[in-house]
Amino acid sequence: MDNTYIKETLLKNFPEIQFDEETGEFLTIIIPQKEYMDVMLALKEMGFDYLFSMTGMDWGKELGVTNHLERTEDRFMVVAKVMIEDRENPEIPSLEKVWKTAHLHEREIYDLFGIVFTGHTVMKRLLLSEDWEGYPMRKDWKDETKMIIR
């Protein structure tokens, strides 16, 4: 398996996805929000059996999630990104039933960025208290009582 095979295979069913090979050593797949779950399931079917990292992102205009996947049989890895334009009600489907490792990653992303993963079994804060207001990893988050001024 190589990057060309992955691109050709995915583009047959998902012509709107994009690829970026210049952002690092792995092929980066940029997935439209509406196709997120379908593309991720296709990657699972292609043998990507390990979701080893899932990170919330705030790109300014939109929020998003970056997933790092590996085919453990040959250690081949890809990056799959999805951008969510609705900052007020950001949500995407949960990958918890596809890769068990998504469970805690999604809770952490919800806790720090406010992205809701629909279908998640325990969609509640993981690190912060339930009465915490806001999402501290967002670029627009402000809390004057916890600001450090030097």
Alpha-carbon span 42 to 54, nearest angstrom: 17
Q: What is the pLDDT of residues 112-138, one digit of tens each?
A: 999 999 999 999 999 999 998 889 999
**β-bridge partners, 67:** 54, 80
- Predicted confidence at residue 148, as pLDDT, reads 59
- Predicted confidence at residue 26, as pLDDT, reads 87
- Predicted confidence at residue 112, as pLDDT, reads 96
Question: 105: helix, coil or strand?
Answer: helix
Residue 23 CB contacts under 8 Å (≥ 6 apart), including other chains: 79
Rg of the chain over all Cα atoms, to the nearest angstrom: 16
- Predicted confidence at residue 20, as pLDDT, reads 87
Q: How many domains does the chain have?
A: 1
CATH at residue 68: 3.30.460.80
User: Which domain does 90 fall in, by range?
Assistant: 3-146
Q: What is the pLDDT of residues 66-113, one digit of tens each?
A: 999 999 999 999 999 999 999 999 999 999 999 999 999 999 999 999
User: pLDDT grade, residue 2 (50/70/90)?
Assistant: confident
Residue 128 CB contacts under 8 Å (≥ 6 apart), including other chains: 111, 112, 136
Where is pLDDT greater, at 40 or 26?
A: 40
Q: What is the pLDDT of residues 28-39, one digit of tens each?
A: 999 999 999 999
Alpha-carbon span 111 to 118, nearest angstrom: 14
